[in-house]
Amino acid sequence: MVNDLSYGTRDKRGNWRPDAPIGLSPLSTGALKKLPGFVAGYLIGWNTLYMGIALAYWAWVLPETEVMASLEWGWTLRLLALNIAGAALFFGAFELRLYRQRAQERRFKYNGTFPAEKPSDVFWFRSQAWDNALRSLFVTVPIGTAIMVLVMWLMASGAVPTSDFASNPVWVIALVLFAPILHEGYFFFVHRAIHWEPLYKRVHSVHHNSINPSPWASLSMHPVESTLYYGALVLQLALFSNPFVVLWLFVLATFGAIVGHIGFDRLELGQERSVTSHAYAHYLHHKYFEVNYCDDGVLPWDQWFGTWHDGTKEADERMKARFRAKREARAQRTGGSAK
């Protein structure tokens, strides 16, 4: 059995935190000696899994270009059904193992409680799992599918110019390699926008109801947020892109959301091995709300905009100082108290 206390500490409430701070990419820190390892981690790991899903979709799920050139119910509804089934199997497998079977018990779990232990009226049926699963599968996935269908149809019908691998291999490869970075940057700015108070109250608060997220929380969103979330696919219409790149971005947005919501710092592989989940940065966002809008990606968006939290106590103090300054500025504007 892997000892999680070899990697972190647990407080009196049972909440676990890693000893090591969350590291930024060598591109942002200048530690170029670490660049080869970072590139290897970028290409191998979660992105390998997502690329495998994208290739499987390309081979067995996505219709031929000639079929997508006509916007018809047949292939669109089939694609929707397969997307819902794929998401159900993917997120459901993590939820089952970690939150139903509790295969790791509470080892490496950031929040010492499981969502099922605290029913709440903010969720449908007072169940976070049911609420999040239904919103993910029957709100966000259908909206994402509709956006993908629209973009694929515009490309396949010739309504917008595209690039294919045979005639422009360098551009297509570049789009594939940089798609995760595009997704990160797009997500950061959209995410910051929906934290604007009017949008947060009416839209983004649905997602943040899951303060203690589990895999089903990954795509649990208000319909407006779901629409904005998949907007990176629409950007491909202006980039002379390729249908595979659109599919790749859809997979990154859909299945890639698992990383920040898995709730465990490491995933155990047998009795002696475990691998990092890279989930802590986004867990801190759910815990503190106004930090880590883009997690620990390739480019340090949060560091550039002053919202980075690396999980240390020093970062806690910087965050508290920023919150105090924000309250004081608001009090000066309104003439109220900064408390």
Q: What is the mean pLDDT of residues 215-244?
A: 97
Closest CA to 286 of 4, 12, 15: 15
pLDDT band of residue 32 (cuts 50, 70, 90) is low
For residue range 257-306, list pLDDT tens digits in order: 999 999 999 999 988 899 999 999 999 999 999 999 998 788 899 999 99
Query: Domain map of the chain by residue range?
Result: 56-308
pLDDT score recorded for residue 339: 60
The more confidently predicted of residues 272 and 84 is: 84
For residue range 157-185, list pLDDT tens digits in order: 999 999 999 999 999 999 999 999 999 99
Q: What is the pTM of this model?
A: 0.94
Mean pLDDT, the chain, integer: 94
Q: What is the mean pLDDT of residues 240-251?
A: 97
pLDDT score recorded for residue 162: 97
- CA 259 → CA 176, 188, 230, distances in Å? 20, 15, 17
Residue 1 tokens read as 């059995």
